[in-house]
Amino acid sequence: MSELEQRCTEAGLKMTGQRRVILKVLDSAEDHPSVEDVYDRARKIDESISIATVYRTLSLLDELELVIRHEFQEGYSRYELNSDHHHHLIDLETGKVVEFQNEDLEKLKIKIAHDLGYDLVDHRLELYGKRIKKK
Amino acid sequence: MSELEQRCTEAGLKMTGQRRVILKVLDSAEDHPSVEDVYDRARKIDESISIATVYRTLSLLDELELVIRHEFQEGYSRYELNSDHHHHLIDLETGKVVEFQNEDLEKLKIKIAHDLGYDLVDHRLELYGKRIKKK
DNA sequence: GTAGCTGCAAACTCTTTGCAACTCT
DNA sequence: AGAGTTGCAAAGAGTTTGCAGCTAC
C-alpha cells in the first residue's frame, strides 16, 4: 500500500479500485494535470472510471490537503500532489509550468500581510512570462 | 465625455447608452464588482440592459486593458478599472478586499522570472488572511 | 447606409448532484 | 450488514454566441 493510499485510509476513505488508480495517476504525474487529464490517464488503466468519480475524488483529496488545486487563468482546474511548497511560472508561449521557490518571497508575503494587520492563511502567486531568447 | 469614454472611442468602440452606463458603474465602484454586481448597478440606471451586454462590454474593456479581470478563488470574475498597479489581500472572514503595493515585491518578481530565464509578462499575487485580533 | 451593437434565448464548458446499484470493511 | 462509493444522466453556475432588429457614426 502506497503512502498516499495509507494517508487516505487514515482519513477514513475506503480504498476502492478507482481511487487507487487515480492516486497512481497523480503520483506518477510529472506535470499539473487537469481533471480531463487525470480522467484520460485513469481510463488507460481502468476503462470504467467515470469523470464524476474523478471530480469527487479530487475534491476529497483537496479537502484532505493531499492535493493542491490550481486555477491558472485557463477556466478550469489543475491538480498536483501537495508536497514541498512552491510557486509557478507559466510559459505563455508553450503553457509549460515551471516551479520555483524563493525564501525572500516567503518572508515578504508574511510581512506584507502582517503590516496590513492580517495573519497570512493562504496565498497565490503565479508569474506569466516568455522565455528570454538568446542572441 | 469622461476620460474613460474617450479612451473607448479612441479604441474604435461606439459609445452607446449601455456602454456609457457600464463605464459609469465601473468608474464609481469603490470595490471589485462581479459581473452580476455590474449588471445590477447598471440596471438601476437603465432597466433595459442585458447581462449579455455586460459580459461583452467587460470582455472588450479587458482586451483594451482598461479594466482588470480578477479570479479570486470564488468561481466567478470580478473587475476593477486598471489604474495604479497593486495587489490584493482577501479577508477570509469578511470577503473584504484590501489593496496594497510593495516595491520590494515588484523587484523580486522580475528577478525571479529573469533568473528562471523568462521575461515577466504578467503575474498574479493574492494573499488570503485573517485579521489579527487585538488583545 | 452600414458596421457595429443589442437583447433574447439557446448553447457551451466545467463542475456538482440525485439516485439506484454496487463494494469495501 | 451497512455506510460509503460508483456510474449515469440530469442539473447548476458562469459565460459565450447566433440571430434578427436597432443605432451610432
B48 sits within 7 Å of strand D by its CB: no
Region A78-105: mean pLDDT is: 89
Q: How far is the CA of B67 from the C1' of C10 (A)?
A: 29
Type and span of the H or E element at A68: strand A67-70
| Nucleotides in chain C with any atom closer than 7 Å to protein CB | 4-10, 13-18, 23-25
Per-residue pLDDT of A92-131, as tens digits, reads 887 788 999 999 999 999 999 999 999 998 899 999 999 9
Per-residue three-class SS string for chain B? CCHHHHHHHHCCCCCCHHHHHHHHHHHHCCCCCEHHHHHHHHHHHCCCCCHHHHHHHHHHHHHCCCEEEECCCCCCCEEEECCCCCEEEEECCCCCEEEECCHHHHHHHHHHHHHCCEEEEEEEEEEEEEECCCC
- The whole-number pLDDT of residue A73 equals 82
- The whole-number pLDDT of residue B134 equals 73
Question: How confident is the prediction for chain B on average, in pLDDT?
Answer: 92
- The whole-number pLDDT of residue A92 equals 83
pLDDT of residue A14 exceeding 90, the answer is: yes
- The whole-number pLDDT of residue B92 equals 83
- The whole-number pLDDT of residue A16 equals 95
**What are the residue ranges of helices labelled H in A11-133?**
17-28, 35-45, 51-63, 103-115
Nearest residue on chain B to A131, alpha-carbon basis? B118
Residue B127, judged by CB atoms within 10 A of its CB (0-12, 13-18, 19+), counts as buried
- Partner-chain contact A117 B125, CB within 8 Å: no
State the nucleotide closest to A19 in CA–C1' terms.
Answer: D5
- The whole-number pLDDT of residue B3 equals 85
Q: Which of B11-25, B91-105, B106-120 has the lowest mean pLDDT?
A: B91-105
pLDDT of residue A4 exceeding 70, the answer is: yes
Q: Which residues contact A89 (CB under 8 A, 6 or more apart)?
A: A97, A98, A99, A100, A126, A127, A128, A129, B112, B113, B116, B118
Per-residue pLDDT of B13-43, as tens digits, reads 999 999 999 999 999 999 999 999 999 999 9
- The whole-number pLDDT of residue B135 equals 62
Find out whether B43 and B66 touch, Cβ atoms under 8 Å.
no
As beta bridge partners, residue A130 has B119
Rounded to the nearest 5 degrees, what angle is found at the Cα of B16, between the Cα atoms of B14 and B22? 110
Packing angle, helices A17-28 and A35-45, rounded to 10: 120
Question: How confident is the prediction for chain A on average, in pLDDT?
Answer: 92
Type and span of the H or E element at A8: helix A3-10
Q: Which residues contact A102 (CB under 8 A, 6 or more apart)?
A: A87, B108, B112
For residue A130, the chain B residues in CB contact (below 8 A) are 118-119, 121
- The whole-number pLDDT of residue A135 equals 63
- The whole-number pLDDT of residue A59 equals 96
Is the alpha carbon torsion for B52, B57, B63, B68 positive or negative? negative
For residue B122, the chain A residues in CB contact (below 8 A) are 92, 127-129
For residue B101, the chain A residues in CB contact (below 8 A) are none
